[in-house]
């Protein structure tokens, strides 16, 4: 983080005055907006360009120099070409009918949901990557159904 702070100071001293930030498109919550507003207030001479997209969009943007920073969960093994900063941990949520026995559970593990299909929002190109992530990283063993958008 010290390096990042130095880079921001350099930006404020007249070096490039724009930071291109990418974040996941399905991100829900006001943490990102609060963070961007606080940054803009502390560094008024730095312009933030924010782009929302998929994991592939963010990775491609970093690789091809269209993004300076990407805010997302880690989908790949860390690359020595990038610096990683752990920002926090989030929970996953499910939506269930009130008639479902899962509706009233305070906590569930992926293994408890094997009899329920999991609906994932993903383009045709991203389906296999999402299935792989949910199976091999998150531990879901359910059937996956895909929809292109919410």
From first to last of its 150 residues, the chain has per-residue pLDDT tens of 576 777 677 666 765 578 999 998 866 667 888 888 998 888 887 889 999 988 889 989 999 999 999 988 877 667 788 888 877 777 777 888 899 988 888 888 888 989 989 998 888 988 998 899 899 888 999 999 999 887
Domains identified in the chain and CATH numbers: 2-71 (3.40.190.10), 101-147 (no CATH)
Answer for the pair 142, 116: CB distance below 8 angstroms, yes or no.
Answer: yes
Answer for the pair 113, 39: CB distance below 8 angstroms, yes or no.
Answer: no
The 3-state DSSP class for residue 110 equals helix
For residue 123 the two structure tokens come to: 């383009």
């Amino acid at each position: 983080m010290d390096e990042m702070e130095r880079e921001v100071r350099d930006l404020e001293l007249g070096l490039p005055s724009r930071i291109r930030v990418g974040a996941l498109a399905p991100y829900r919550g006001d943490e990102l907006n609060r963070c961007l507003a606080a940054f803009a207030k502390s560094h008024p001479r730095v312009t933030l360009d924010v782009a929302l997209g998929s994991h592939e969009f963010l990775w491609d943007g970093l690789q091809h120099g269209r993004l300076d920073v990407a805010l997302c969960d880690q989908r790949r093994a860390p690359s020595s070409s990038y610096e990683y900063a752990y920002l926090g941990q989030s929970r996953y949520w499910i939506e269930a009918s009130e008639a479902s026995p899962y509706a009233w559970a305070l906590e569930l593990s992926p293994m408890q949901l094997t009899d329920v299909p999991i609906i994932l929002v993903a383009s045709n190109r991203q389906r296999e990557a999402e299935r792989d992530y949910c199976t091999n990283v998150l531990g879901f063993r359910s059937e996956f159904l895909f929809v292109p958008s919410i």
